[in-house]
Amino acid sequence: MAERKKLSADLAVIGAGSAGLSAAAGAAMLGLKVVLFERHEMGGDCLNFGCVPSKALLSAAKAAHAPAEAAKLGVTLGPAAVDWAGVKAHIARTIETIAPIDSQERFEGLGVTVIRESARFADPRTVVSETAEVRARRIIIATGSRAFIPPLPGLEGIPYFTNETIFSAAVFPERLVILGGGPIGLEMAQAFTRLGSKVTVAEMGRALARSDAGHAKLALEELRAEGCVILEGHKANRVSGEASGLTLHAVGPDGEVEIPGSHLLVAAGRQAVLDGLDLDAGGVAHDAKGVSVGDTLRSRSNRRVWALGDVAGREQFTHVAGWHASVFVRRAFFKQGSRADSLPVPEVTYTSPEIAQIGLTEAVARERFGEAVKTSAFPFNDNDRAIAEGKTLGEAKLVLHKGKLVGVSIIGEGAGEIIQLAGLAMSNGLKLTALTNFISPYPTRTEALKRAASAYFTPTVFGPAARRLVGILQRIP
C-alpha cells in the first residue's frame, strides 16, 4: 500500500449527510481548513434513501389517490394507472435535482478537501483513510444511522427491503408486509396501498406511539379505510418462505397469526452507524445508541471530538442534524453557549392526514405535571378553508401548563406547515397571547392554531368578571 498523504486541518468531518455537510460548509465559509470524508453517497441517508425519496414516493401516491379525492368534490376522474418504472424515475429526478447542493463539486468550491473513502481514528486527534492521514484540531463524527434489523429467525434467508432499497425495487411489491408501525412504516404503508399494493403492517406495540394517542387513532382509521391492514400489539417471532413468497409469523392478543406477502419491508427503527470508525483508538466513548455526548454534543471522553446528527444518540431527524451543526459552529468557533436541547424539536409524520408534534403530547405532559395541564383545541371541521377543500378531518391542540405553552399536536392536511408557527412561538419563549395577536389571512388552515389559542382565553375574556367590567365601562361617556 502506498504511503498515506499527510494533511493537517482545523476540522475533520466523517460523514457527508446533513449534519456533516452543514458543519463543513460553515467552517469553510469562516476560512478554516476542512477535510470531509464520505465512503458512500454525498448527501447521506436523507437525500438518497430517506426524506427526499420518501416524499417523492408519497407525492406519486397522492396523485394515484386523486380520483378518490376528486369524487368527493363532484369531479369524476378515470381510475389511476400506476407505472412503477415511471414512479421510480420521478424519485430519481427528485434526488438528482436536489443533489447538486450536497455535491462534492460544491464543497470543493467552498475550499473543502473531500475524500471519498472510509475513515477511522488512528489516535485521539488523527483520522486516516486508505490514502490520507489527517491530523485535526477538531473532529466531527456525523455518520448517521441505518435501518435496525432485528434478530428475527428466518430473516437472514429472506430477501427484504429497508429504506435504502425500497425506492429502487426492481418489481412492484404486490403484497407488501411491513415490520414496524412507526412513521416510516406507516408512510410507506399508505404510499404503497395507494399505488396498488396489498399492505399489512405488524407493530409490536401501539402504532405511531410517539404521537398524540387520539391523533394517531384518527390517522390509523384513515389508513385502514384506504385498505391498509395494521396489526397493533403483534410481535413478530419468525419469517418463513423464500424469495417468491414469504410469511411473517407474529403473536398477537389472540395467538399467532401468519401474514403472507410477496415482499417484506423492515422498518423497525434505526441504529447509529459506528462500524469501522475504531472509536477506541480515538478514545471516544460510545454505546449502542451512538457516541456518548452531552447537550453540547461534545464527546464525554475526547474533547476534540463532536458527534452530530443521528450518531449523537438523540432525535433522529434531518432538521435536528442541521440544528446540531449550528450548535457546533456556535460553540466551537464563536464560543457561544448554544445547546442541542435549547429548542423544542418538531416531528411530522407525512401520512394523509399529516401528524405534527412539538414539545410535549398531552399524555406526557399529564405524566409530568398532573392535573395542572390544560388543553385547548380547534377542529378543522370548523375551519372554513378545510370545509371548502372537503378535508375537515383533524384538529390543532395546544397543551398548556400554568398558562405556558408546553406542546402542540396537530393532525390534518398541512399539519407539518402549520406546526412551524407554534415552533416559532415556543422557540422564542412567546406567551400564548402571541398566537392570538396577529392577523391570520382568511381562509387558511393555520387560522386553526390562532382559534385554539383564542379558545383558551374565551372563559376569561367573555366570562362573568369581564361582563361586569364592560357593564361598568359602558357607563362612561
| Count of H-run helices and E-run strands, the chain | 14, 23
The region, left, alpha or beta by phi > 0 then psi within -120 to 50, assigned to residue 128 is beta
Strands of the sheet with 395-401, listed across from one edge: 346-349, 354-359, 404-412, 395-401, 373-379
Residue 196 grid cell: 396498488
Q: What one-character-per-residue DSSP string does 362-402 give? A: HHHHHHHHGGGEEEEEEEGGG-HHHHHHT----EEEEEEET
H helix or E strand, kind and range, residue 411? strand 404-412
Domain 155-268 sits in CATH at 3.50.50.60
Instruction: Please give the span between the terminal C-alpha atoms of the chain, in angstroms, as a whole number.
Output: 95
- DSSP H helices in 110-208: 183-195
CB-side exposure of 220: number of CA atoms within 13 Å?
23
The dihedral built from the CA positions of residue 204, 205, 211 and 212, taken in this order, carries a sign that is positive
Q: Is the preceding omega at residue 353 within 30 degrees of 0, hence cis?
A: yes
Residue 389 burial (10 A CB sphere; 0-12, 13-18, 19+): middle
Residues of the chain with pLDDT under 50: none
Query: Among the CATH numbers 3.40.50.970, 3.90.1410.10, 3.50.50.60, 3.40.1000.10, which is that of 5-147+271-334?
Result: 3.50.50.60
Same CATH fold assignment for domains 5-147+271-334 and 353-460: no
Q: What is the pLDDT of residues 207-255, one digit of tens each?
A: 999 999 999 999 999 999 999 999 999 999 999 998 779 999 999 999 9
Nearest residue to 249 (alpha-carbon basis) of 162, 261, 193, 188: 261
CB-side exposure of 461: number of CA atoms within 13 Å?
8
The DSSP code for 212 is -
Nearest residue to 129 (alpha-carbon basis) of 7, 10, 25: 7
Which pLDDT score is estimated for 1? 59
CATH architecture of 353-460: 2-Layer Sandwich (3.30)
Cβ 40 vs Cβ 62: under 8 Å: no
- Sketch the domain layout of the chain as residue ranges: 5-147+271-334, 155-268, 353-460
Which pLDDT score is estimated for 252? 96
CB proximity list for 470: less than 8 A, separation 6 or greater: none
Residue 256 grid cell: 399467532
Global pTM value: 0.94
